[in-house]
Structure 1
């Protein structure tokens, strides 16, 4: 699959317009690529996914990192999932589809779970992992990789800029990163950041007093 197929329904166009008006070019292009990597993976594995739902989930998956959530203390994934839910409900989509997209976004940084769920949920994580960390890189042909990054360029120093975007989106809510790999971004950018140690939490709990 080297041809790039983006859903062109009314709601897909509305989602793209909303995200383009809200996110930086860095996050917008990343989100489109997440959809493309996910869709290509789904087709290669013959998974029965809904392209429109996958596209909406991919477009909203990093929305929680943007300036509009600088006052939020929720996990950034939940902010994006809630925004997608509101968007889909405003367009009258079925609640089962809303829930599936919500889970795809909320779980996209939680390894070991999405791959056992609906294809749209699994494929958002697969697409994000490919675009940010190169997971599954060799599963795509050189022609496929070239087609995607030519249409939606990564730009110079993409990895560094993504780390900055993660940090900027979570530095004000460090406790939301507990139990995820998101605290890696805070530790990398801020040497004074102290991770929560669950063993110490347990040993210092009231049960141990």
Structure 2
């Protein structure tokens, strides 16, 4: 599947002509769907704001805080909360621990200590998936198939559309899209959004993320992010409903 972890390992994360056509079709179909606005508000409760309570989550949060800048840390936590809340919209059954780990580490390939570590990798999402797998394997606390599910979710989060048959990947993609480009912003009650941002401030997120993405486009011109930027993704970040 274009965009998944196996695809990344085979292609180094480079988009060929067929993959670009595939992405263009995804973009068109998503735009058509998003033009049909749904004003229904997303409901949430206190549990939606809480991380799963497990030893592996604690280790992952420690690793996150040791490796990421604060604006990215907050983004990763918000991504999980948004994905968690969105799941109720479509009654999606998923593993909260797997979604939490994928959310917390989906951008480790953008951090100073982990970006551009792999010479045969030209995509930060694939690099993030690789590094997340290595981290989880080092803990020796999680089954291989669960690690692969997390790696796939991280690899796929840059796709324009992800299948609901991969629930953790689907919700990571949705959670990240809500936080980065404000997708479904209007579906969140104002008090819910205010609570999330008060708890996890954005800290000039738009500008800082744009800088990181531009760097990726420069060093990885055949990557998915470069393709997305060529087709206006930077404008979606800049003009999202979030203030910063």
For normalisation by structure 1, the TM-score amounts to 0.80
* Alpha carbons of structure 1 residues 184 and 24: separation in structure 2 relative to 1, 3 Å: farther
CA distance in 2, matches of 1:19, 1:139: 29
1:74 aligns with 2:122: yes
Please say if residues 166 and 185 of structure 1, whose CA atoms lie closer than 8 Å, have aligned partners that are also in contact.
Answer: no
Q: How does 1:118-137 map to 2 (within 5 A)?
A: 118-137=166-185
Q: CA deviation at 1:11?
A: 0.7
Q: What is residue 140 of structure 1 aligned with on the other side?
A: 188
Provide the aligned C-alpha RMSD in A: 2.3
Is the 1:108–1:128 Cα contact (8 Å) retained in structure 2?
Answer: yes
**2:144 counterpart of 1:103:** no
Paired residues for 1:1-209 under 5 Å: 1-3=44-46, 4-68=49-113, 69-72=115-118, 73-91=121-139, 92-112=141-161, 114-156=162-204, 158-177=205-224, 180-183=227-230
1:54–1:124 CA contact under 8 A, matched in 2: yes
Deviation at 1:108, TM superposition (A): 0.5
Structure possessing the higher relative contact order (Cα contacts under 8 Å, 6 or more residues apart): 2
Deviations 1:120-175, CA, capped at 9 Å, x for gaps:
1100000000000011112221121111111101124x212210122234532323
Uncovered stretches (5+) of structure 1, i.e. residues with no partner: 189-209
Q: Secondary structure at the match of 1:120?
A: helix
Q: Which has the larger radius of gyration?
A: 1
C-alpha displacement of 1:70: 3.5
Query: How many equivalent residue pairs?
Result: 186
**Structure 2 unaligned residues grouped into runs of 5+:** 1-43, 236-244
Q: Distance in 2 between matches of 1:180 and 1:98?
A: 28
Distance 1:151 1:2, change over 3 A: farther
**1:76 Cα shift?**
0.3
List 4+ stretches of structure 1 deviating above 4 A.
Answer: 182-188
Q: How far apart, in 1, do the equivalents of 2:230 and 2:63 lie? A: 28
**Closer, same or farther: CA 42–177 of 1 in aligned 2, 3 Å:** closer
2:163 counterpart SS class: helix
